[in-house]
Structure 1
Amino acid sequence: MSTLRPTRTSAAVAAALALTLSLTACGASTDEDTGSTPPQQETTMAPEETDAMEGGDMSAVMPMGTGDPFADARTAAQHMPGTAATLAAGFSAALEIPGEVDSEAAALRATMTALLQEHVYLAGIAVATGYTTGLDSAEFEAAAATLDENSVALADAVGSLAGDEQRETFLGLWREHIGYFVDYAAAAKEGDDAGREAALESLQGYTQDAGAFFEEVSGGELPAGDIAASLEMHVSTLSAAIDDLAAGSPEAYASLREAAGHVGEGAAVIAGGLATATEMSGDPADEAATLRADLTALLQEHVYLAGVAVFTAYTTEGGTESEAFTAAAEVLDANTVALADAVGSLAGPEQREAFLGLWREHIGYFVDYAVAVSTGDEEAADMALMELDSYRGEAGAFFEEISGGELPADAVAEGLAMHVQTLAGAIDSLNAALVQGS
C-alpha cells in the first residue's frame, strides 16, 4: 500500500502562491465556477464597505457570523476554491502552463480535493469538540451537523455523475463510516481497546464496500482494490489524529494536517476515474488542473488551521499560553513559512522576509481579537480590527509592488476585507459557543 503525500508545488505554483493571500475571500464560489457547494450564508457588502480600501472605514472589517462557529468556519473556508480557480486561470495563461484549468475534469478534481480535505478537518474539529464538551452536547451536535453538510455535498457531487440512486448509496456508506469514526473516538477517549478495534474492523469493512462502489459507478475505471487501499490510509491517518486528540497530545494538530494532506492524491485518483468514465472534457491530471487543485487545498487549509488554533485557545486551560495552543499555532505558522518561501522564490529573499513579517503580524491581530472578545474587552477588540483594517492597506501596497502593478493595492485591500469579516465572525461565534456559553 503506497503512502499518500501532499503534492509538491511546481515553480509555477510557487509564483501563484506569492499572490494568493491578497485575493483570499474575494467572493463566494459558485457551483458553475468550481463545482463546490456554495457558502451557507450570503455575505453581501454594502457600498460603503466596498469603498473601504486602505483602512480607516471599520465597516469593511466588521465581523460577519451566524452564531454557529462550525458553519461560520466552513463559510470562511468555502471562499477559497473560487479564489484558487481565479488564480490558477490567470497564472496558467501568463505562464503558459499546459492543460485546461477550467475544464470539467479540472473542476471535478478541485471539488473533490476541497470536499475531501474539508471532511478531514471538520471530522477533527467535531471530535475535538466532543472531547471538550461531551459527545452528547449541543456543541458536538452542531459540529456534527456541519460535518454532515460536507457529506451531503460529497454525495451531491457523486450523484451529479452517477445518478440519484448512487447518490443515496454513497451518502449511506459515507455517513456510516463517519459513525464508525465517532465510535472509535469514544472508545479512544475511554481507553477501550476492544471498542477501538471493533471500530477499526468496521472501518476496514467500509473500505472494501466503498471500493466496490466506486468500481461499479466508474465502470471499472476505479479498481476496488486501489480505492480500498487509499481509504485504508485515510482510516489510519485520521485514527492516529484521533488518538492524539484523545491523549491530549500537542502532536494532534500536525497529525490532523497530515491526515488532511493524504486525501489530495485520493481526490486526484477518484476524479481521474470518474472523468474517464463520464467522458468529461479535459484531463484532471494535467499541469493546469493540478495547479488549481493544489491552490484549492492550500488556501482552504489556511482557514481551517486558523480556526483550529482559535478553537484550541478557547478550549484549553491557559488559553494562548498553553502548550496545546503553541502546537496549533506552530502548525499554522508552518503554512505561513511555506507561503513566504513561495513569495521569496518569486520576488527574492528581501520580499520573502517582508511578507513573512506582514503575514505573521496579521495572524497576531486575529489572536488579539480572539483574546479580546473572550475577555469582553471591547476596546482591545476594536483595536485589533483597526489593525487588521490597516493591514489590508499595507498588504495591498506590498502586492502591488511585487506584482509590478498587476494587483492594484485597492483591489487587494478590498479582497482582504471579506477574509477579515468571515474569520472574525467565526471567532465571535466560537467565543459565544465555547467561552461565554460554558
Structure 2
Amino acid sequence: MRMRRVEHHRYLFPLLCAGLAVILAAGAAAVGSRQPAAVAGTGHIHSHTGGAAVLAAPASAADRAVRLQALLGQHSVLAADLMRSRIRGDDSFAQAANAALGGNTDAMATLVGELFGTAAADTFRPMWSKHIVALFAYAGAVADKDDAARGRAHEDLVRLENDLARFFAGASHGRLPRDAALGAVAMHVGHLTRQADAYATRDYATADRLYREGFQHTYDLGLTLADALLPAHDRAVLQTPIWRLRSQLGKVLAEHAVLVEDVTRAAVTNTADFDAAADMINGNTTDLAAAVDTLFGAPTARRFQSLWASHVELLVAYAGATAAGKPDRRHEARADLRTFERRMADVLAPATGGRVPPAELSAALQAHDQMLLGHADAYAARDYKSAQDIADDTYEHMFELARRLADGFGATVAARLPQGGAQTGYGGLAGHH
C-alpha cells in the first residue's frame, strides 16, 4: 500500500509559550487527571464523568505484565510526540501530550506500587518525571540550536539512566543485572533523542524509523522487566501460548492505532512528514499480515493485508476530507469503513472456531474506527486535548481486542508462535512469514 499526500490547506501552528516549561518543571506526573492506558484484569471498560475510559485494576500477573508493556510503549510515543511538538513550536499539542504523559506516569507509578509497595512507587515517580523533563529540555535545546543546553540535557539524561537502572535492578533482587537494565534504558533514551535530532533536520524517514523502533523496544522492555520483577510463581504465565499471543497481538494492534493517528495528523495538516508517516503505517500493516500468516497461513494473510491496507487508506482519506471541508468524501469513507468491518469480521471469525461471532468482531472493529475518526475530527478542530483523550481510549481498546482475539483463537493456534526468551518477546510475530 502506498498512500498519496492529501491536498488541502496547511494549518499554522502557534509558537510554544514559556508557560509549558513551567508546567513540565513541576513534574509531568502532576499534569492532568485523566487515566491513560491501563490494561484491565477484567476486560471491562468503566466510564466516568470525564468522558474517558478507566479500566479496572489488574488482577493477575498476566494482566500486570501486559499493562507494564502497554504503559512503557505508550510512554515512548507520547514522549516522542512531546519532543516533536517542542521542536515545531506547537504549544497546544505539546500541552495535550504533556498531560497524557502525566497520566501515563501516574499509571506506571501505581503499577510499581502494586508490585513493590508505596515506598517503591514514591521513589519511581519523581525519577520518571525528571526523565520526561530532561527529554523536553533536550528537545528545546535542539529547537533553539543551543549546543550547550543540549549537552546539559544529555548529561541529565545519562545521570537519570543510571538512577533508573539501579532502581529496576534493585527491584529485581538480582534477576536483572544493572548493566542490562542500564543498556535497556540507554537504548530507550537514544531512540528518543536521535529521533528528535532527525526530526529537527527534517530527516523524517530516520525520525519515524526511530519512533517506531522506540515503541517496539519499550514495549518489549516491559516483558523483560516483568520477567525479572514478578515473583517466581507468577513468571511462568509469561511463557504460556495464550499470554504470548495476547501480548504480541496487543503490540502490533496498539502500534497500528498510534501510527494511524500519526499519519492522519499529517494528513490533516498536510505536513512534510506525511510520506514518512505513511511508510510507518505500511510497515505495521506488513507486520500484522505476517502475524496472520504465522497463525493461519498465506491465503488468509493475503486477504487480511488487502482489507487492512484499504482500511488505513480510508481512515487517511477521511482525515484529508475533514481538513479540506468535503463532507461528501467524509460520508463515503465512513460508508466504506462499514463494509470493511463486515468483510474483516468474516475473515477473522472462522479462525476463532465460532468463539467470537462475526457480529461481535464487526462491532469491535466499528468501535475502533469510530475512535480513530473522532480523533481526526478533534485534531482537525485543533481540540488537541479531546484528540489525545480519544487516542488514549483507542490505545486501551486495542489491548481489549487483542485479549478477545487471543482467547478466541485458542491455545492450539497460539502455540504456533515462534519460541524465544524474554529479551526477544518470547518469539513475537513481526517479520515472521
**Could you list the per-position Cα deviations for residues 262-316 of structure 1 after superposition, in whole angstroms to 9, with x for gaps in the alignment?**
123421222122213xx55342541434333222222211100111111222344
Q: 1:350 to 1:160 in 2, by over 3 A?
A: closer
Letter in 1 for 2:120: Q
Partner of residue 183 from structure 2, selected from 217, 229, 232: 229
Percent identity of the aligned residues? Answer: 29
Match of 1:16 in 2: none
* 2:283 matches 1:283: no
* 2:161 matches 1:207: yes
Match of 2:87 in 1: 131
Counterparts of 2:157 and 2:203, CA distance in 1: 24
Counterparts of 1:143 and 1:103, CA distance in 2: 29
Q: Which moved more, 1:284-293 or 1:386-395?
A: 284-293
Counterparts of 2:270 and 2:46, CA distance in 1: 28
Structure possessing the higher relative contact order (Cα contacts under 8 Å, 6 or more residues apart): 1
Query: Structure 1 length as normaliser, TM-score?
Result: 0.71
Partner of residue 181 from structure 1, selected from 125, 135, 138: 135
Partner of residue 399 from structure 1, selected from 325, 330, 348: 348
Match of 2:68 in 1: 112
1:103, distance to aligned residue in structure 2 (A): 8.8
Letter in 1 for 2:215: A
Counterparts of 1:233 and 1:227, CA distance in 2: 10
1:193, distance to aligned residue in structure 2 (A): 2.3
1:405, distance to aligned residue in structure 2 (A): 4.7
CA contact (8 A) 2:268 2:376 kept: no
CA contact (8 A) 2:252 2:287 kept: no
Secondary structure at the aligned position of 1:424 is classed as helix
Pairing 1:84-95 to 2, within 5 Å after superposition: none
**Could you list the per-position Cα deviations for residues 132-161 of structure 1 after superposition, in whole angstroms to 9, with x for gaps in the alignment?**
343xx2331111101111111111100112
Q: 1:163 to 1:236 in 2, by over 3 A?
A: same
Pairing 1:3-402 to 2, within 5 Å after superposition: 31-33=40-42, 104-134=60-90, 137-251=91-205, 252-276=207-231, 281-283=234-236, 285-288=238-241, 289-317=243-271, 322=272, 324-401=273-350
Counterparts of 1:30 and 1:103, CA distance in 2: 10
Q: 1:336 to 1:243 in 2, by over 3 A?
A: same
Counterparts of 1:188 and 1:30, CA distance in 2: 35
Structure 2 residues without counterparts, runs of 5 or longer: 1-36, 385-433
CA contact (8 A) 1:118 1:150 kept: yes
Counterparts of 2:280 and 2:252, CA distance in 1: 13
* 2:360 matches 1:411: yes
Secondary structure at the aligned position of 2:382 is classed as helix
CA contact (8 A) 1:105 1:283 kept: no
* 2:374 matches 1:425: yes
Letter in 2 for 1:269: T
Q: 1:373 to 1:39 in 2, by over 3 A?
A: farther
Secondary structure at the aligned position of 1:110 is classed as helix
Aligned residues: 347
**Could you list the per-position Cα deviations for residues 235-281 of structure 1 after superposition, in whole angstroms to 9, with x for gaps in the alignment?**
112211111121221221111001111123421222122213xx553
Match of 2:28 in 1: none
Letter in 2 for 1:104: S
CA contact (8 A) 1:113 1:296 kept: no
Q: Where do 4+ consecutive residues of structure 1 move more than 4 Å?
A: 38-43, 345-348, 401-407
**Could you list the per-position Cα deviations for residues 208-229 of structure 1 after superposition, in whole angstroms to 9, with x for gaps in the alignment?**
1112222333434433333222
Match of 1:51 in 2: none
CA RMSD in angstroms, aligned pairs only: 3.1
1:42, distance to aligned residue in structure 2 (A): 6.0
CA contact (8 A) 2:256 2:281 kept: yes
CA contact (8 A) 2:169 2:178 kept: yes
Secondary structure at the aligned position of 1:222 is classed as coil
Q: 1:218 to 1:401 in 2, by over 3 A?
A: closer
CA contact (8 A) 2:71 2:108 kept: yes
1:372, distance to aligned residue in structure 2 (A): 1.5
Match of 2:392 in 1: none
Secondary structure at the aligned position of 2:41 is classed as helix
Counterparts of 1:121 and 1:138, CA distance in 2: 17
1:377, distance to aligned residue in structure 2 (A): 1.8
**Could you list the per-position Cα deviations for residues 313-340 of structure 1 after superposition, in whole angstroms to 9, with x for gaps in the alignment?**
23444xxxx5x21111111011112222
Q: 1:42 to 1:349 in 2, by over 3 A?
A: farther
Letter in 2 for 1:312: A
Counterparts of 1:191 and 1:429, CA distance in 2: 32
CA contact (8 A) 1:177 1:203 kept: yes
Counterparts of 2:261 and 2:82, CA distance in 1: 13
Q: 1:339 to 1:392 in 2, by over 3 A?
A: same
Counterparts of 1:400 and 1:375, CA distance in 2: 37
